[in-house]
Amino acid sequence: MALRRSVLTLISTRKTSLRLSAIKNFSAQSEPQEEEKRKTHFGFEIVNEDEKTKKVHQVFETVADKYDLMNDVMSLGVHRVWKDIFMMRLAPTPGTKLLDMAGGTGDITFRYMNYLKNKGSLSADKPCSVTVCDINQHMLDVGKVRAERQGYTKDTSVDIDWLCADAENLPLPDDSYSAYTIAFGIRNCTHIDKVLEEAYRVLQPGGRFLCLEFSQLPNSTMQWMYDQYSFQMIPVMGQLIAGQWKPYKYLVESIRQFPDQEKFKAMIEEAGFRQVTYENLTFGVCAIHSGFKI
């Protein structure tokens, strides 16, 4: 009897330890996968996802005051042309209720208002409404000063709402905007799919998503030349003009990590948008992607 009890105890202990080791093995297998999921790119560095959000925030915190000047220097002014084309593609009307995501210092928002003004569609009886949203308050503060300098204040027919929020988790109701723009912002976000989901959610049925972002050159010689310029020159310019090397190194690296035109188009479709198209600017240095919530 005593022998039987000992054998049973042994079997039960063995079973428990087997079960424990199975659980341990499972966790050992699942832990690295979980870890894997939480890793992402910050330029060419592999970092934890929450670390990326902090680092991106730091980048724009550091560059906010020199952001507009550096854009002109690095692109030799061409970013202005890309943004003008972007606004021409949106072709807003007075009824366009715009959410300018990752709006930073307001370049796209000011173009939206200037576009309406130039068409004679902006007056006290035809006011327009735009929300500039960015995760970085410092960038928005620079934008507010610019808006005042340009005379765009509440008493002029323009209602600008400055919102500090994350594109991946917007404190905005469903179906509330007729257009969503994001210019040079989406590649800085940790989860592009979440940004697209949120864009889809806040757009009204029939609303338009329009994204301007750096992209990939289809020709390898041109890509090589562009790489030489961006990797050799841009961080140096950052150091000389803004006294910062790292944010500009991140800038060029992040461009290389962003999906190419076709992959990004597929991601936009995956989020539910229809009639998704893209247009290359300057041979593919940038691309405008467009889609509709239908």
Burial class (CB in 10 A: 0-12, 13-18, 19+), 199: buried
Q: Which of 183, 203, 267, 285 is the binder for ligand SAM (CB under 6 A)? A: 183
CB of 221 to ligand SAM, least distance (A): 27
With CA atoms as reference, report the closest residue to 262 among 210, 207, 294, 218. Answer: 218
Judged by CB under 6 A, how many residues of this single chain contact ligand SAM?
Answer: 19
Distance CA 158, CA 67 (A): 24
Q: Which of 43, 92, 104, 235 is the binder for ligand SAM (CB under 6 A)? A: 104
CB of 215 to ligand SAM, least distance (A): 14
Q: Which helix (H) or strand (E) holds 109?
A: helix 107-118
Stretch of 116-124, 181-189, 197-205, 215-223 lying at the interface with ligand SAM (CB under 6 A): 181-189
152 binds ligand SAM, rule: CB under 6 A: no
Q: Cα Rg for the chain, rounded, in angstroms?
A: 25
Residue 155's contacts (CB-CB under 8 Å, 6 or more residues apart) are none
213 binds ligand SAM, rule: CB under 6 A: no
Q: Pick the closer one to ligand SAM by CB: 165 or 222.
A: 165
Q: Which of residues 41-60 bind ligand SAM (CB under 6 A)?
A: 56, 60
199 binds ligand SAM, rule: CB under 6 A: no
Q: Pick the closer one to ligand SAM by CB: 31 or 72.
A: 72
CB of 277 to ligand SAM, least distance (A): 21
108 binds ligand SAM, rule: CB under 6 A: yes
135 binds ligand SAM, rule: CB under 6 A: yes
CB of 266 to ligand SAM, least distance (A): 21
Distance CA 261, CA 241 (A): 31
Distances (CA, A) of 116 to 10, 11, 95, 120, 158: 83, 81, 10, 6, 11
Stretch of 10-18, 44-52, 134-142, 261-269 lying at the interface with ligand SAM (CB under 6 A): 134-142
Q: Which helix (H) or strand (E) holds 71?
A: helix 67-75
139 binds ligand SAM, rule: CB under 6 A: yes
Q: Pick the closer one to ligand SAM by CB: 248 or 278.
A: 248
Half-sphere exposure of residue 88: CA atoms within 13 angstroms, side-chain side: 7
Q: What is the DSSP string of 131-190?
A: EEEES-HHHHHHHHHHHHHTT--TTTTEEEEEEE-BTTB--S-TT-EEEEEEES-GGGSS
Please list the residues that pair with 209 across neighbouring strands.
180, 291
211 binds ligand SAM, rule: CB under 6 A: no
Q: Tell me the longest C-alpha to C-alpha distance in the chain.
A: 100
Stretch of 122-130, 155-163, 184-192, 254-262 lying at the interface with ligand SAM (CB under 6 A): 184-192
Residues that bind ligand SAM (CB under 6 A): 56, 60, 102-104, 107-108, 134-136, 139, 166-168, 183-185, 188-189
